[in-house]
Amino acid sequence: MRPLSGDQVDEAVAGCVAALRAAVDRDWEGVRAGRLEWSCRRAAEHIADDMIGYAGRLAIGAQGRLPFGVSIQEDTDNAGVLDVIRSTGALLAATVRAAPRGARAFHPYPFGSADREGFAAMGVAEVLLHTYDIALGLGLPYEPSEGLAESVLTSLFPHVQPGPAPWPTLLWATGRGELPGRAPVTDWRWRNNLVIPAERLTLTGIRPAAARDLRLGGDGGFEWLDGEPYEGTREASSSMVKAYESGVHRPEFGIFALVRHEDGRAIGGIGFHGVPDEEGRVEIGYDLVEGARGRGYATEALGALAQWALARDDVDMVFATIEHANIPSQRVVSRAGFTRATVDEERIAQDEYDMDAGLLLYIRRT
């Protein structure tokens, strides 16, 4: 799976222009764009407006919406509208390419910001979906590549179980189509990845595509301190991919790369072993590459993630299980505010929740 970049923005825009150019002599203002309330002309202007807005925000790391947009002159013909889409698409593609790896800017859904891959994905999504709407209204054939549709799904819809093919799944997920065995979608939002700040680190949510790459031995799009992640991160990525493919993945309870502020390198992974249970308990795990150990990074990351989880209404307790001989990890959790469970709590965990008798239970509550 290719990481989303300016190349995919260019590809999406080229496909849009190729599909719609066949109808530039038609009346776009008087034709409704598919199921939207907009005209085809309005939907085309919306594509351009979003792309210039995304480019502007990402370019400066804006912390809110910027007070500008695209206004196309009324006497512009449809070919001119397509030129505006080409131009704004090129600006977004160039901005994504130029943005630093850790750049983020405002977007409301759902965590208040997006990175350069997120802005690329949102730009591609706007182009694909609204080109489909316009083409549907004008009676034109349109279907983007499976690679583009899958990239949007794995970047912006990590909560959606993959379907038999990416493009019909994306149409279903955005209320534009049907999938056998799934209820129609009437309300939807895409989901950019979550980041949680810490003092020296950023906990960066790992997307399904990056988890797949990590599972297969890749770098997941991160620059790792020792050249590659520790094996535990790869194992956690494999579990996350299985959860995604089975439709039970909740992105905020997935895994995070620990990205160091001083050099932008990933130094480890941290995350949850699943979603909170009915009693609000959730298990946490972590690892560091060898070159980052002994500097308090694990304690810092563990404290930040536990604090984030315990601030939620659906989490009452975060716990970790550690081998008896792993004294350094026991010290890490203790410094992060976890306490050793009582004998009775450990016995219950062993009897009722199949915790290995060779492990120690550490817990942190609200």
* Residue 51, domain CATH: 1.20.120.450
Q: Are residues 66 and 155 in the same domain?
A: yes
> Helix or strand or coil: residue 346?
helix
CA distance 62 to 57: 5
- Amino acid (1-letter code) at residue 55: A
DSSP state of 211: H
Structural domain contains residue 229? yes
- 150 and 218 co-located in one domain: no
- For residue 256, the domain's CATH number is 3.40.630.30
Using the structure block, give the residue that is written with the tokens 């439709």. Answer: 247
CB–CB of 139/112 below 8 Å? no
Q: Provide the domain count of the chain.
A: 2
Q: Is residue 187 part of a domain?
A: no
C-beta separation of 250 from 272 below 8 A? no
Residues 212 and 73 in one domain: no
| Residue 190 counted as domain residue | no
Per-residue tokens: 238: 């494999």
CB atoms within 10 A of CB 231: 9
CA atoms within 13 A on the CB side of 304: 21
Per-residue confidence in pLDDT tens, the chain, 366 aa: 567 999 999 999 999 999 999 999 999 999 999 999 999 999 999 999 999 999 999 999 999 999 999 999 999 999 999 999 999 999 999 999 999 999 999 999 999 999 999 999 999 999 999 999 999 999 999 999 999 999 999 999 999 999 999 999 999 999 999 999 999 999 999 999 999 999 999 999 999 999 999 999 999 999 999 999 999 999 999 999 999 999 999 999 999 999 999 999 999 999 999 999 999 999 999 999 999 999 999 999 999 999 999 999 999 999 999 999 999 999 999 999 999 999 999 999 999 888 998 899 999 997
Give the other-Cβ count within 10 Å of 242's Cβ. 13
CA–CA distance, 140 with 125 (Å, rounded to integer): 19
Q: Are residues 163 and 302 in the same domain?
A: no
In a domain, 126, yes or no: yes
Q: Are residue 258 and residue 128 in the same domain, yes or no? A: no
Instruction: Indicate whether 330 belongs to any domain.
Output: yes
- Whether 186 maps to a domain, the answer reads no
Report how far residue 48's alpha carbon sits from residue 123's, in angstroms, rounded to the nearest whole number: 9
Question: Residue 14: which domain range?
Answer: 6-173
